[in-house]
Amino acid sequence: MAKRKAPEINSSSLADLAFLLLIFFLMTTTMDIDSGIFRRLPPPAENNTEDIKIKERNVMNVMVNKNDLLMVDGKPSNIRELKNLAKRFMTPNPNNEKSPEVETKYIESLGDVFISKGVISLKNDRGTSYDMYIQVQNELTRAFNELREEMAVNRFGQRIEVLSEDRIKAINDAIPVRISEAEPEEIIDRK
């Protein structure tokens, strides 16, 4: 008896089928686009070696150590308090000697407004987790956004997203985002 050959499956179109499936999944799959933290960087400094002196009352120091523990002005704090602390610090309070200094500035659409000279200084340990870093950035951004929203409602009776571009620019000029971020380094835990 002669041995029969087992029937073979024609696989010549298998590569075409795999290619079509690949194209199908590439076309129908959505991918999340990573978005960064929007910050406008200051213009490059001129060759000035002179240090800028900022009064202590004008600086709110925020530090995060390698254990993701937060300190605000040398006192332990937590992420849930950070937004309110930043808002309170950045709200112009010309009658309080302990609050940051303010300057009066005329801004088109707003008139004369008090502008805080406060700066939030952020310093992270090299071991700070990325999650904690983003949480701190989000809370600081929320503080500035809420201050701007409150000004829009108080001055114009509308939420900021429905205002004209001129009014939004005026509010942004009245409440500038002043966050100074230092280069990460080893932060020593003080107990």
Torsions phi, psi of 62, nearest 5? -120, 120
Band (44; pLDDT cuts 50, 70, 90): low
Rounded Cα distance between 20 and 17, Å, is 5
> What is d(CA 76, CA 190) in angstroms, rounded to the nearest whole number?
11
Q: What is the pLDDT of residue 13?
A: 79
| Cα 151 from Cα 70, distance rounded (Å) | 29
Average pLDDT along the chain? 84
| Nearest in space to 53 (alpha carbons), one of 125, 122, 124, 117 | 117
- What is the pLDDT at residue 48? 58
User: Which of 106, 102, 105 lies closest to 118, judged by CA?
Assistant: 102
Quote the CA–CA distance of 90 and 93 in Å, as a whole number.
Answer: 9
Q: Hey, what are 190's tokens?
A: 């003080």
Q: Does domain 56-144 have CATH number 3.30.420?
A: yes
Predicted TM-score (pTM) of this structure: 0.71
Q: Find tokens 């150590």 and name the residue.
A: 65
* Position with higher pLDDT, 36 vs 135: 135
